[in-house]
Amino acid sequence: MTLSIIMPMLNEAKALPTTLTALQHKACYAELILVDGGSNDHSVAIAKHYGATVLTAPAGRAQQMNMGAEQATGDYLLFLHADTQLPSNFELLVRSALAQHQWGRFDVAINGQHPMLRVISVMMNLRSRWSGIATGDQALFVRRSAFKAVGGFPEQDLMEDIALSLRLKRLGPPACLRQKVLTSGRRWEQNGVWRTIWLMWWLRFAYWRGECPSKLARRYR
């Protein structure tokens, strides 16, 4: 069973070399597809330099990842952020998990200097395990057939990962792997850890209350 890694990107020239170099050493048999949302830096050139298939789509993670999934040839799909690194044996872990489940995700560790980032990581993993909801930082993976059955990502401007999780939960609970992906804490440290915590909880609460994702996306930016 083959695996396709799908990565949306938009002006990720700083993050891509680290992520793609790590993948070169870890991904033995996986197909790599990067979907650009209109970068005006060197993201596309960097992705091609590393031998990835590069597609172009309208900006928006949901649309970009759906396009990547349409073009992917793998039986399994793994959606990866440009600033997130997978564990060394991720291919075996994904295949083993999807032999028993329709979908799943990894635990996450946030890379950065602030001591609260470790606490945030622990809380994210606990919340995800309790709720059965995965976020994009956790490298969500899914059987291709299950992804098609639920219609892929809803093409909304924010919370597309939560919306997909809710769709996939109808097919069964996720495989919650304790092995960790390492994601960048740049957003937290640049915008302030406590400020970002408050913003993310507010956005999530507003989304559950039925607020328009496009309106929330403007606030997020």
Tell me the pLDDT tens digit for each residue of 133-142. 999 999 999 9
The reported pLDDT for the residue numbered 15 is: 94
Give tens-digit pLDDT for 191-210: 788 888 787 777 777 777 77
Structural domain contains residue 198: no
Q: What is the pTM of this model?
A: 0.92
Residue 51: domain span: 3-185
Structural domain contains residue 217: no
Q: Tell me the CATH number at 20.
A: 3.90.550.10
1 has pLDDT over 80? no
Amino acid identity of 121?
S
Give tens-digit pLDDT for 92-133: 999 999 999 999 999 999 998 888 999 999 999 999 999 999
Structural domain contains residue 7: yes
Say how many domains are in the chain: 1
Confidence of residue 159 (pLDDT cuts 50, 70, 90): confident
The reported pLDDT for the residue numbered 198 is: 82
| Alpha carbons 38 and 184: distance in angstroms, whole number | 22
Structural domain contains residue 201: no
Q: Could you tell me which residues come within 8 angstroms of residue 6 by beta carbon, excluding any fewer than 6 positions away?
A: 33, 35, 65, 68, 69, 72, 77, 78, 79, 80
Structural domain contains residue 192: no
Order of strands across the sheet that contains 3-9: 53-56, 31-36, 3-9, 76-79, 141-143, 103-111, 175-184, 84-85
Tell me if residue 51 falls in helix, strand or coil. Answer: coil
Structural domain contains residue 195: no
Structural domain contains residue 98: yes
Structural domain contains residue 213: no
